[in-house]
Amino acid sequence: MNPVADTVIFFGKFLYYFLESLVFKVIPKKKKDVSGEIVLITGAGSGLGRLLAMHFASHGATLVLWDINQEGNMETCRLVKQKGDVKVFAYTCDCSKRTEVYRVADQVREEVGDVTILVNNAGVVTGKSLLNTPDHLVEKSFLVNAICHFWTCKAFLPAMIKANHGHLVCISSTAGLVGINGLSDYSSSKFAAFGFAESLFLELTMAKKTKIKSTIVCPYFIKTGMFEGCTTKYPLLLPLLEQEFVAQKIFNAILEDQVYLLIPKFIYFALLLKQIISPKMMIALCEYLGVDSCMASFTGRSKAEELQIETERKEQ
C-alpha cells in the first residue's frame, strides 16, 4: 500500500477511535445481558471469585465454580443458591496441574455445556524476597497465576471461536504492570498473565473474532487473606481496595466489554509516568508512595489455612 495513503488511513482511524472513546467516557456503553451465559470462575472458593459469582448469579447466569479448596467452593455454591433459581456447579480443581484442568474441563462440557464467559481469577502469593522463596513456590506462582490461563483458554476457547461468542477475563494485578519489592515471583507471573491476555486479545481481533470479548483487570492490593498485613502510605492515592468495590468494578467492566481495567484510577497516571521518568526518579516515587515497604508487614493467609487446603487436596 502507498505509505502516504496508509498514514492518512491510520490517522483517520486513530482520530475516530479517540473521539469514540471520549463519547463513551460521557455516555456509558450499553450493558450486555449475561442471563443464560455459562460462567466459569477459577478461585471461586473465597474473596473476589466468590463475589463475582454472586454478581453473575444475580443476573441469571449459570455458574461453574472451580477451586482447590472444596469446602470454600461449596460455601460459595451455597451462597449462590440463596440468590434464587440459579444453576450452579462446583468442581474441585487444582489449576496448577494441566492434566487436571483438562480433565475437569471435559467434565464441565459434558455436565454443563460450553463455557461462554471464562474468568481466570485463581491466584497465589508468596510475599518473600527472591532468595527466601523456595523453588517450588516460584513454580507454583507461575503455574497458578499465569500458565493455568493457557490451559483454561485452550480448553474453552475453541467452542467460543466456533460460535464467535464469548468473553475472556484475566485478573492480573498492578504488580503485573510495575515491579513490586518483595513480590518477584508474584509480580513476574502477573506480568506474564497480562501479556498472555493482551496477546490473545490481539490474536482474536486479527482473526476477526470480534464477538469474543476480553477484559484484563489490574487492581492494586485487595483486602483479602492473600495480602493480609500489606500497608499503604497514602490511601487517597493507593488505597487497599475493598473486595466488593473491586468485584463491582470488574462486573461492570465485563458487562460493558471494557478491555482494560486499572484500579484505582491513579494507576493510569503512574503507569504513564513510569514510561517518561528516569529509574532513579521512579525509585523516589516508589519511596514516596510507600510501594518500597508495602510488603514489610505482609503475613498472607495463615499457615493453618494453607495446611487445611493442602490436607483436603491430598485426601481427595
- Please say whether the beta carbons of 79 and 96 come within 8 A: no
Q: What is the CB neighbour count within 10 angstroms for residue 60?
A: 16
Q: What is the largest CA-CA distance in the chain?
A: 67
DSSP-assigned letter for residue 241: B
Q: Of 186, 49, 227, whose CA–CA distance to 122 is shortest? A: 49
* Annotated catalytic residue within 16, 17, 186, 220: 186
For 316, the grid coordinates are: 481427595
Q: Of 148, 138, 180, whose CA–CA distance to 274 is shortest? A: 180
Q: How far apart are CA 174 and CA 239, in angstroms?
A: 12
For 245, the grid coordinates are: 468495590
Sequence-distant (6+) residues with CB within 8 A of 115 are 38, 39, 40, 64, 108, 109, 156, 159, 160, 166
* 288 belongs to the catalytic site: no
Bridge-based pairing of strands 62-67 and 38-42 is: parallel
For cell 486479545, the residue is 201
Sequence-distant (6+) residues with CB within 8 A of 67 are 42, 43, 44, 45, 46, 49, 73, 76, 90, 92, 93, 122
Q: Please tell me the total number of residues recorded for the chain in this structure.
A: 316
For 89, the grid coordinates are: 456447579
The set of catalytic residues is: 186
